[in-house]
């Protein structure tokens, strides 16, 4: 894996996390309602946008790319597990992954997107 590919992957992944965190903050109380409908633990709803913003900024800066990419991969796995649980029970609430931008009901596309982001995390951590 080339260093350049890892840097680009980290920047793309970081951008996705920054957009996700910022859009959750911009959605305000609507984000909390969507997160509750998704079944997110309520203790995580307040800090999650800030964690995404900070993690995204760290990835974009490439200062500690590998550890940040591993944390991002872990978060993506947790997010995907929650999405899979909702889909398996037949529940299709809005994703809330990108705040007001993601009001579509859950579907396989959300898992594909998380899979693509997970690939970026792996590439960013590999080199």
pLDDT, position 100: 64
What does pTM read for this prediction? 0.93
Residue 85: predicted pLDDT: 92
| Structural tokens at position 121 | 């995390």
CA–CA dist 82, 14 (Å, integer): 21
Task: Say what the pLDDT of residue 1 is.
Answer: 67
Structure-block tokens of residue 82: 């929650």
Maximum average pLDDT range among 60-64, 87-91, 104-108: 60-64
Longest dimension (CA), the chain: 42
Closest to 96 (Cα-Cα) out of 25, 47, 10: 25
- Per-residue pLDDT at 31 exceeds 90: no
pLDDT at residue number 49: 95
> If you count them, how many residues does the chain have?
127
Distance in angstroms (rounded) separating the CA atoms of residues 25 and 113 = 21
pLDDT digits (tens, 9 = 90+) for 1-25: 699 999 999 999 999 999 999 999 9
Q: What is the pLDDT of residues 33-82, one digit of tens each?
A: 888 888 888 899 999 999 999 999 999 999 999 999 999 999 999 999 99
More confident residue, 56 or 109: 56
Please give the pLDDT value at position 67.
97
Cα–Cα distance for residue pair 113/44, rounded to 1 Å: 22
Backbone angles phi, psi at 46, to 5 degrees: -65, -50
């Amino acid at each position: 894996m080339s260093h350049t590919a890892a840097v680009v992957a980290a920047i793309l992944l970081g951008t996705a996390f920054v957009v996700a965190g910022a859009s959750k903050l911009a959605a305000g109380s609507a984000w909390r309602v969507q997160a509750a409908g998704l079944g997110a633990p309520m203790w995580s709803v307040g800090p999650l946008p800030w964690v995404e913003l900070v993690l995204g900024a760290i990835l974009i800066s490439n200062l500690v790319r590998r550890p940040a990419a591993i944390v991002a991969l872990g978060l993506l796995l947790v997010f995907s597990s929650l999405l899979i649980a909702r889909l398996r029970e037949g529940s299709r609430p809005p994703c809330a992954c990108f705040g007001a931008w993601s009001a579509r009901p859950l579907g396989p596309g959300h898992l594909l997107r998380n899979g693509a982001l997970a690939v970026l995390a792996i590439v960013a951590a590999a080199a």
